[in-house]
Amino acid sequence: MTFRAGSAARDGDGPGAVATRFTGRAVTGERALSGSLTEVALDDGRVVIVKRADGADAARAEAAGLRWLAGTGTVRVPAVHGHDAHRLVVDRVVRGRPERQAAVRFGRALARMHAAGAPAFGAPPPGGPVEAFIGLAPMRNVTGDDWPRWYAEHRVLPYLRTAVDRGVVRPGEAGVVERACARLPELAGPAEPPARLHGDLWNGNVLWGADGHVRLIDPAAHGGHRETDLAMLRLFGCPHLDAVLAGYRETAPLADGWETRVGVHQLFPLLVHAVLFGRGYAEQALAAARSALAG
């Protein structure tokens, strides 16, 4: 790894200065990873990530989510050193290869994290904002005690309306998603208590550590239905997903018929992606809604 020596310390508003402020350590170098991520080397040998958040309260939401998940003592997340209005400083994860036993451990830990619960569906993490984010999309953490109604009103239909307004979903197509939402009480399976969700559990937010343990990053954490996290993990692929699910079900069995409900839980992330990335995801969301209604 090659770091650019010294430059961060001279920039009073740069990633190095932010890292120093929250870690109390001098900076020996930095390396840009992307437009929003910078690796910063500290004088004690550690490396941290300084992440620039694009939306107001995005850094606070992410920091609160990471701390909420870490507080369960189950899944591993990078330690949060601090945040300000626009930047977040966390430990770097040293990456390794996906291994099957690590996947089983991850599944067990994920089940225990979900079981830690939340005060209500839609509840934000302590200290987290109501006006939060999932990726670059706004996400409102409005609470409710009835999952089908809450999921329709606050996770599916807002993104459907935005997708229609942007022309990504045609007005004549929206009805199939609306009908699926209307039938959620019968499609949702047995009632479950609010689970503590990562909320944006796609494969890119699952980091396989060199120490044989998975770490989760970039949460959109809130209280929700545990099958939503699992459905998102399946939607975008995950190495050794069968082992993850085996570890999960060994620790916390899923309600009968959970596999038939995957499409229902994927409506939320698919419509978010339709709003952010366009028509291809809209078509997948419409197909998921049709499949749910046909089933």
The residues that are catalytic are 200
Strand extents, DSSP E, the chain:
27-32, 37-42, 47-52, 80-83, 87-91, 131-134, 137-140, 195-197, 206-208, 214-216, 222-224
Residues 6+ apart with CB under 8 A from 84: 18, 59
Return the biggest CA–CA distance within the chain.
62
DSSP letter for 200, please. Answer: -
Alpha carbon distance 44, 138 (integer Å): 37
Are 163 and 274 in contact by the 8 Å Cβ rule? The answer is yes
* Listed residue (256, 255, 234) closest to 245, CA to CA: 234
Alpha carbon distance 177, 283 (integer Å): 11
Strand extents, DSSP E, 125-245:
131-134, 137-140, 195-197, 206-208, 214-216, 222-224
Alpha carbon distance 293, 60 (integer Å): 38
Burial of residue 84, with CB atoms counted within 10 A of its CB: 0-12 exposed, 13-18 middle, 19 or more buried: middle
The two structure tokens encoding residue 257: 């018929």
